[in-house]
Amino acid sequence: MFRASMIGAGVLVASAACAHRPLFPDVPPTSPASAAVVKRPDVSQVIYHEVGEGRTQLWLTFEGQQGQEVFLQIGVPVLDRLKDYRPTMALVGPGLPTGEAPFDLPAGCGLEAFPTKEIAEPRYFEEHFTGTDSWILHDATVKLPESGVYYAVAYSPDGKPGKLWLAIGQKEEFGLTDLGRMREWTRKVRAFHEVHGAWPRLQKIAAGGLAGITAGVAWLIVRLLTH
């Protein structure tokens, strides 16, 4: 039984590794001052944002080293009203082009923008763990020209309201300490994508794995106390 519980744990962690690690900051990251801090930009992480009045931009920030490669990706939920929604992704930081920018930049920073308005057929992406669907509009890998503080930004060039998500990093990494957060993470991600109803199949498998862990630990404790 104990071995079975360990298999259940493996299923749960492996299922989680098929997804981005979500970020849900306490303060809306709508400016450089309130940017969500990413401590490890190599780890695959995603943040969700609804563009609207007072929320026209989404900002992440991280410490980067010269020559470091940073992966960025932008997408939108698969919703009929967003099929033509084309937000822009940008990297802001030292050593980047210093031409005209669509918003005020932090001191000493330039900007490299990745517009998506010409994307006619975005890439479809199904995230099995949360049971959500997205259109991936663009991804880019940028080699940082200097060491310093950088920002990943997403915004709608025309200020049109909508929804978008911004991802950074490619290394999939989840730990057992994340198990307790999975249910709440999934609820928030599904609500953002406007998906309702029962949890997806992988989530049910994960729940079964967690139940197996609990049963296995209880069995082991009883064995130790009675022998």
Predicted confidence band of residue 5 (pLDDT cuts 50, 70, 90): very low
Domains of the chain, residue spans:
1-17+178-227, 20-173
pLDDT digits (tens, 9 = 90+) for 95-105: 999 988 999 99
Structure tokens at 198: 């029962």
The C-alpha atoms of residue 221 and residue 184 are separated, in whole angstroms, by 29
Residue 221 has pLDDT above 60, yes or no: no
What was the pLDDT predicted at 220? 52
At 6 the pLDDT is 38
pLDDT at 37: 97
CA 72 to CA 81: how far, in whole Å? 24
Q: Which fold has domain 20-173?
A: Jelly Rolls (2.60.120)
pLDDT in tens, 37-49: 999 999 999 999 9
* Position with higher pLDDT, 178 vs 172: 172
Rounded to whole angstroms, the Cα distance separating 98 from 113 reads 11
Is pLDDT at 28 greater than 90 in this prediction? Answer: yes
Q: CA-CA distance, 5 to 195, in Å (whole number)?
A: 31
Q: Read off the pLDDT band of 9 (50, 70, 90).
A: very low
| In contact, 140 and 79? CB cutoff 8 Å | no
Q: Which pLDDT band, with edges at 50, 70 and 90, does 197 fall under?
A: confident
Q: How confident is the model at residue 218 (pLDDT cuts 50, 70, 90)?
A: low
Q: What is the structure's pLDDT at 21?
A: 86
Q: What is the pLDDT of residues 75-94, one digit of tens each?
A: 999 999 999 999 999 999 99
User: pLDDT, tens digit, for every residue of 114-163?
Assistant: 999 999 999 999 988 889 999 999 999 999 999 999 999 999 999 999 99
| Chain centre distance of CA 112 | 21
Residue 93 near residue 149, CB atoms below 8 Å: yes
Position 18 scores a pLDDT of 45
